[in-house]
Structures are given as structure tokens and as C-alpha cells.
Structure 1
């Protein structure tokens, strides 16, 4: 019998909920302690972003997320001069703020960004751990608590484009997928109070869809889709 997973204390209740499916929390923690950048690989809606939010909360680190897209530039990441009150003022970008804060910088779907923009992270994700700001001539040494995390959906993105090899080789990779049926049922129940029968039925349907020929489908049923569907049913 599946039971809704309730938090044990107030601190856990305030933490973004994430149910581990393998050893991903241990690998994330080890990479953080060894100051290694991390890449999460998995289909959309499998919990990559929630996992990062959960780990940032667990480690007590500020989290700055960047949703990557085709038009994002290096200046969007690092910062730029803007005209403010009649004078040019330097405004730091999210990557710069994350480095200075010593937190986690999460590049969501990093492959969507232009290749020339992601090159700026290379000095950050190797032994140098430095962010070079060309516009100001400044080099910021990342503090020990800073961590760079990328997410990547190789299922559909690799057809048209992929991460640069020089970027991939710098990363510790965690392969993520949709949870096992029992875990997925528990997640759907925990996220919105769905009953066991409702959650089990949705997960059974999702797993049947996932076994179909994916070339005939624009997308499959993700865990996120199941959570939203259960919410609408409720």
C-alpha cells in the first residue's frame, strides 16, 4: 500500500520536496565537496530542476537559476553597462552574482544557449574556478562554496544541437530518468494530496505511453505532467 510521504519536521517541510531514485544526492554532494561542476542529463519533467532546488536547500546555499534560450548572450550571463540616471553603470549578470554569493548557478537546458555564450563558463568549470569579465577587466575567483550545475535533455536536443565537447568533458554527469512506479506514485500523492487510486492509475497510464514508439509522439508523459493532471483532477 502506498502512503503519502509527510515531512518529519518543520525544516523538512520548508525544503523543496524531492524523492531520490538512485544515488544522485550522494553524487551531487561529493561533487560539491570536491568543487566539481555537475551536469544533469535526463528527459524534460523528470525532476532535474526540483533536484537542484532540493540540494541547494540541503546544502544551505543560495540558488540562481538561468533559463537558457537561443538569444542568450555572454553579457546576459556575466553583466553589462546600462545607462542609468544619465551615466553608464555596470550591472552584474546572474552568473556573476552567483559567483560572488558563493552559491549554486544552475543553467537550465544549457544546450539551448548560443555556443559562444557558454564558453564564458569554461574557466569556472575547471581547476581555475575563475570568472573573467572582459568588459571590466575583472577576474573573480570563485569561493569554495560556489558550484556550477547544468541540465541537458539529450533525448530531443542532440538531434539538432548538443553541448560542446569541451563543455561536456569538464562535467561530472548524473543520468536521470522518470522514477520507478512506486516512487512516482508516492511523488504524485505527496505533491498535491492525490489519492492512491488516482496516482496509481496516472502512473500506469504514463508508463504505457512511455513504452510506445517515441518517434510517433511529440512528447511522453513526464512526472511533472502527472502531478499537474492529479492537481486538476483534485
Structure 2
């Protein structure tokens, strides 16, 4: 990583936040499959680029965003996209309040984008391709060189603080998702976030799960590798390879038989009977 970024991160560490902002700073708990992933994300944000994290469910995209938030000491505001996402969920809304004298007034309650832009924080847009195509163009100006938006509720032109940064995440090909249009994609630097494998995965399971049997932990790493092979061949859905699910299985396996743990944490989450059987067939060859 370039020395200037190291120096910048050191400067950021010295910033003292309010208690509320401090609670919004993420945890530095992401384990990268390769050092390039974290380095490129940090470099892109340092240069003022928007970063799009692209990868399957459970590969650690949100963890990576939180990790960046921690390293940059930037409070993180999150937008969870869905078909119901609208301008109010992004920017904020007007509401009626009453003061101590009983007088009524309408105030604007800022949303995650407004807060992040105003305060120079990190904005995390999760599952950005779940939003309706007509919703996201609202923030095109936020994501390009203008770094500004006209608030439709107040008429105010909001220009982002210099420290404002944007990270988004995408799961491609999932039910309910829509392809990002070219205008939106061109506003991001894209970083692939694959599943962890091998020794890196072993170290993560060892450090974060309740399972202490290293031989059994290695078995779970092999199980993950075989499931990823079936995912690549289209015989299992992406969620079968989720690191979260694998950690759940390891935690359970500290107390119950491994096959039962795998059934509860991984196999039974799958809707197709053949997929559930495939996971258990792999598991039975190892445990």
C-alpha cells in the first residue's frame, strides 16, 4: 500500500468523534482472500472514487465496508436497497413536531445520504441492484464529480463534505435484482469479493468460531471448497457457500454432531431437495 495512504490513515485515527458518530464506525474484522482487495478498496476511496463490491451472498462485502470504515475512522451510514426504496428512505423526510409551547412546525429529518454528505462520512449502499431503476438516478449527482444533489423536500442544494465516500455492494443474478445501467456502473470502481478458501478461511474459522478442534475445522474448509466447486458448476446456489453459514455450522459443531450442524446451518436453508442432498453427500465424505 502506498506510503501516502498509510500516512493519511494515521491522520484519520487521530480524529475524535462524538459518541453517536463513534457508534457508527465499523469494526476492522474483514479477512481478505488476497491483500489486493483491501489495498485497492482503500486506494480507490483515498482517490475519491466510489467503490462497488461485487460478489456472492456471504462473501464478506458488508464486512469489507465496515473494515474500511474502521481504517478510515469514518462513521458509516447504510442504505439497504429494496423495491420499496424511495427518495425519503435515501434523503430524509418532513414531519410535524410540537414545541414546548404547543406550537406546531414542520422539520426535515435527514436520511442516510444527507447525513453522510453533510458530515463527510461513509455511505454504504447494500444490494444496490435491488432498488427500482427509477429510484437510483435520484443520486447520480451524488456519485459523480458534482458531489451534490437538490433535496426535493427542501429545495436545498446539498454539496458533499470533502471526506464523503461511497461504497456499494451488488449480488448479480439473484431474484429481485435488476442490471445496473451503464450510467450508474460508470460511476464506480468495481472490486470482486470472492469467498475465502484455504488457510485464510481456516484462520477465520479458528479465530471466530466456538469450535476448537483444528482437525474438524480443516474438514469444514474442505467442505467449503467442495461446495464452491458445485456452485461454480451451477449445482448449488451461492448461499450454500456463505461464510456466515459456515461459521454457524462450526459454532454448532462445537456442541452437536457435525452432520447435524451442517444440516441446520447450511443444508436446511436450501429450498431444493436435490441441493440439500448434495450438501449432505459432501459432508458425509468428510465427517
Give the alignment's TM-score, normalised by structure 2.
Answer: 0.72
After superposition, the Cα gap between the structure-2 partners of 1:124 and 1:160, relative to the gap in structure 1 and judged at 3 Å, is: closer
Structure 2 partner of 1:3: none
Q: Does 2:138 correspond to 1:120?
A: yes
After superposition, the Cα gap between the structure-2 partners of 1:160 and 1:77, relative to the gap in structure 1 and judged at 3 Å, is: closer
Maintained 8 Å contact 2:51/2:166: yes
Q: Does 2:194 correspond to 1:177?
A: yes
Structure 1 partner of 2:267: none
CA distance in 2, matches of 1:160, 1:68: 10
Q: 2:30 aligns with which of 5, 14, 18?
A: 18
Maintained 8 Å contact 2:227/2:236: no
CA distance in 2, matches of 1:107, 1:211: 30
Larger helix percent: 2
CA distance in 1, matches of 2:139, 2:202: 38
- Tell me how far 1:215 sits from its aligned partner: 3.9
- Tell me how far 1:98 sits from its aligned partner: 1.1
Q: Which runs of 5+ in 2 are unaligned?
A: 1-12, 14-25, 99-103, 255-287
Misfit runs of 4+, over 6 Å: none
CA distance in 2, matches of 1:160, 1:56: 26
Larger mean Cα displacement after TM superposition, 40-49 or 160-169: 160-169
Q: Describe the superposition over 1:187-211 as per-residue Cα deviations: whole angstroms up to 9, x where unpaired.
A: 1111124332232111211211221
Maintained 8 Å contact 2:129/2:177: no
Pairing of 1:18-37 with structure 2 (within 5 A)? 18-22=30-34, 23-37=36-50
Q: Which structure exhibits the higher relative contact order, with contacts defined as CA atoms closer than 8 Å and separated by 6 or more residues?
A: 1
Structure 1 partner of 2:68: 55
- Alignment root-mean-square deviation, CA: 2.0
After superposition, the Cα gap between the structure-2 partners of 1:144 and 1:160, relative to the gap in structure 1 and judged at 3 Å, is: closer
Q: 1:67 aligns with which of 55, 73, 80?
A: 80
- Residues matched between the structures, number: 221
After superposition, the Cα gap between the structure-2 partners of 1:149 and 1:15, relative to the gap in structure 1 and judged at 3 Å, is: closer
Structure 2 partner of 1:7: none
CA distance in 2, matches of 1:121, 1:231: 41
CA distance in 2, matches of 1:78, 1:188: 39
Q: Does 2:246 correspond to 1:226?
A: yes
Pairing of 1:154-169 with structure 2 (within 5 A)? 154-156=172-174, 161-169=178-186
Maintained 8 Å contact 1:69/1:113: yes
